[in-house]
Amino acid sequence: MARNSSGFRREILETASRLFAATGFKATSLQDIAGEVDCSKAALLYHFNGKDAILTELLIPAAEALAGLDARLGELEGEDAVLPAVEGFVDLMLRFRRELKIIYDDLPEMLRHPALAGVPDKIDRLVDAFAGRSTDPKARVAALMVLGAVPIVGVSPVPLPDDELRAVTVRCALRTLDHDPNCP
């Protein structure tokens, strides 16, 4: 039975995502992916122009989602940016766990990937939002701690349902930022 082309592409992407997250991008070969989806390497290359093209297609949605968060946060001033920044970042972490694992496994090389162009600048603005647009060094340290910790939560095997994990992660991030949205 012939496979549906778009369904087969999704199967390749899902398999590649799982393998990249489990063994790393560099350690996963096209043959590994082809073997898992039960096709030839040539059939895989018919749909994707190499392993990097698969990675690009996997990373673009995460980069676009970060750009959307960046745009929403750009409209907010001062302390008004903190809660939406934390909630938005935690939501990105939950939505793109595998992609984060792939990126964090080889962070310096991944940040040079064309699909992630502009991400370092967006991350700088996210840190600024976490800090409530403050230049206070203590606020910046707390913001950087949230930036580093939230993705680690996302790639760790925490045995909680996503809604509970989101609530705990947002609460802990806000505590780290010394930000209580219920207080003026």
Residues 84-130: tens digit of each pLDDT: 999 999 999 999 989 988 888 887 777 788 888 888 889 999 999 99
Residues of the chain within CATH 1.10.357 domain(s) are 59-176
Average pLDDT value for residue range 43-65:
93
Q: Considering just the CA atoms, what is the radius of gyration of the chain in Å?
A: 19
H or E segment to which residue 2 belongs: none
112 burial level (CB within 10 Å; 0-12, 13-18, 19+): exposed
Mean pLDDT lowest for which of 27-31, 152-156, 170-174?
Answer: 152-156
Classify domain 5-48 by CATH architecture.
Answer: Orthogonal Bundle (1.10)
Q: Is the pLDDT of residue 48 over 80?
A: yes
Both tokens of 179, joined, read 């930000």
- The CATH number of 59-176, from 2.40.50, 1.20.120, 1.10.357, 3.30.1120, is 1.10.357
Q: Is the pLDDT of residue 45 over 90?
A: yes
What's the pTM value of the predicted model, to 2 decimals? 0.73
